[in-house]
Structure 1
Amino acid sequence: MTPVVNKGAPNVPFYTPVQDPPAGTALDPATAPTLFQPLKIRGMQLQNRFAVSPMCQYSADDGHLTDWHFAHLSQFILRGTALTVVEATGVLPNGRITPQCPGLWKDSQIAPLKRIADFAHSQGQKLGVQLAHAGRKASTVAPWLRPAGAITELAPPEDGGWADNVWAPSSLKFDEGFADPKAMTVDDIKALVQAFADAARRAVAAGVDTIEIHGAHGYLITQFLSPLSNKRTDDYGGSFENRTRVLLEVVAAVRAAIPEAMPLLLRISATEWMEASGEPSWELEQTTRLARLLPAAGVDLLDVSSGGNNALHKVRATMVIHPYYQVDLAGQIREALRKDGLHLLIGAVGMITNAEMARSIVQEGGKAAAAAHDKGSVEVAEEESGGRVVVTQADLVLMARQYLREPEFPLRVAHQLGVEVKWPNQYHRGGWPKDQKI
Structure 2
Amino acid sequence: MVKLFESYTIRDITLKNRIVMAPMCTYEANAHGEVQPFHLTHYGSRAVGGIGLIITEATAVLPEGRISTNDLGIWNHHHIEGQSAIVAQAHAYGAKIAIQLAHAGRKSTVGGRIVAPSALAFDENYHTPEEMTTADIEAVIQAFADAATRAQQAGFDVLEIHAAHGYLVNTFLSPLTNKRTDSYGGSTENRYRLLRNIIDAIRVNWDGPLFVRVSAHDYTEGGLVPEDFIQFARWMSSQGVDVVDVSSGAVVPAIINAYPLYQVPFAKTIKEGANVAVGAVGLITTGHEAEQVLQDGGADLIIIGRELLRDPYFPYRAAKQLDVPFEPTVAVYKRGW
Q: Name the TM-score class by shorter chain.
A: over 0.9
Which residue of structure 2 aligns with residue 330 of structure 1?
267
Which residue of structure 2 aligns with residue 301 of structure 1?
243
SS in 2 for 1:415: helix
Which residue of structure 1 aligns with residue 219 of structure 2?
273
**Residues 334, 394 of structure 1: 8 Å contact kept:** yes
Which residue of structure 2 aligns with residue 33 of structure 1?
2
Deviates more, 1:262-271 or 1:248-257: 248-257
Which residue of structure 2 aligns with residue 405 of structure 1?
310
Unaligned runs of 5+ in 1: 1-31, 140-160, 364-390, 433-438
Q: Does 1:226 align with 2:168?
A: no
**Residues 423, 431 of structure 1: 8 Å contact kept:** no
TM-score, normalised with respect to structure 2 = 0.97
SS in 2 for 1:35: coil
| Alignment match of 2:19 (pick from 50, 66, 77) | 50
**Residues 304, 330 of structure 1: 8 Å contact kept:** yes
Q: Following the alignment from structure 2 to structure 1, what is the Cα–Cα distance between the partners of residues 84 and 99? A: 11
Equivalent residues in 2 for 1:100-119 (5 A)? 100-119=70-89
SS in 2 for 1:71: helix
Q: Partner amino acid for 1:401?
A: R
Q: Partner amino acid for 1:41?
A: I
Distance 1:324 1:429, change over 3 A: closer
Q: 1:424: Cα distance to partner? A: 2.1
Q: Following the alignment from structure 2 to structure 1, what is the Cα–Cα distance between the partners of residues 335 and 282? A: 29
Q: Following the alignment from structure 1 to structure 2, what is the Cα–Cα distance between the partners of residues 431 and 103? A: 37
Which residue of structure 1 aligns with residue 287 of structure 2?
355
Q: Does 1:247 align with 2:206?
A: no
**1:127-160 CA distance string (max 9 Å, x none):** 1000000000001xxxxxxxxxxxxxxxxxxxxx
Q: 1:431: Cα distance to partner? A: 4.1
**1:71-121 CA distance string (max 9 Å, x none):** 111110011101011100000011100011011100000001101111211
**Residues 227, 269 of structure 2: 8 Å contact kept:** no
| Alignment match of 1:200 (pick from 130, 148, 159) | 148
Q: Partner amino acid for 1:189?
A: I
Q: Partner amino acid for 2:259?
A: H
Identical amino acids, percent of aligned pairs:
43
Which residue of structure 2 aligns with residue 422 of structure 1?
327
Q: 1:194: Cα distance to partner? A: 0.2
Q: Following the alignment from structure 2 to structure 1, what is the Cα–Cα distance between the partners of residues 302 and 227? A: 22
Q: Does 1:182 align with 2:130?
A: yes
Q: Partner amino acid for 2:279?
A: G
Which residue of structure 1 aligns with residue 224 of structure 2?
282
Q: Following the alignment from structure 1 to structure 2, what is the Cα–Cα distance between the partners of residues 72 and 431? A: 21
Q: Does 1:172 align with 2:141?
A: no
Q: 1:324: Cα distance to partner? A: 2.0
Q: Following the alignment from structure 2 to structure 1, what is the Cα–Cα distance between the partners of residues 271 and 203? A: 22
**Residues 128, 208 of structure 1: 8 Å contact kept:** yes
Q: Following the alignment from structure 2 to structure 1, what is the Cα–Cα distance between the partners of residues 289 and 332? A: 27
Q: 1:320: Cα distance to partner? A: 3.5
Q: Partner amino acid for 2:48?
A: L
Higher Rg of the two aligned structures: 1
Q: Following the alignment from structure 2 to structure 1, what is the Cα–Cα distance between the partners of residues 249 and 315? A: 27
Q: 1:179: Cα distance to partner? A: 1.2
CA RMSD across the alignment = 1.1
Which residue of structure 1 aligns with residue 65 of structure 2?
95
Q: 1:255: Cα distance to partner? A: 1.6
Q: Following the alignment from structure 1 to structure 2, what is the Cα–Cα distance between the partners of residues 175 and 80? A: 40
Q: Following the alignment from structure 1 to structure 2, what is the Cα–Cα distance between the partners of residues 359 and 207? A: 30
Unaligned runs of 5+ in 2: none
Q: Does 1:133 align with 2:133?
A: no
SS in 2 for 1:109: helix
**1:326-384 CA distance string (max 9 Å, x none):** 011101111222xxxx3x21100010011110111112xxxxxxxxxxxxxxxxxxxxx
Q: Following the alignment from structure 1 to structure 2, what is the Cα–Cα distance between the partners of residues 322 and 187? A: 42
Q: Following the alignment from structure 2 to structure 1, what is the Cα–Cα distance between the partners of residues 69 and 259? A: 34
Q: 1:425: Cα distance to partner? A: 3.0
Q: 1:426: Cα distance to partner? A: 3.4
**Residues 271, 287 of structure 1: 8 Å contact kept:** no
Q: 1:427: Cα distance to partner? A: 3.0
Q: 1:283: Cα distance to partner? A: 1.7
Q: Following the alignment from structure 1 to structure 2, what is the Cα–Cα distance between the partners of residues 423 and 264? A: 28
Which residue of structure 1 aligns with residue 278 of structure 2?
346
Deviates more, 1:129-138 or 1:60-69: 60-69
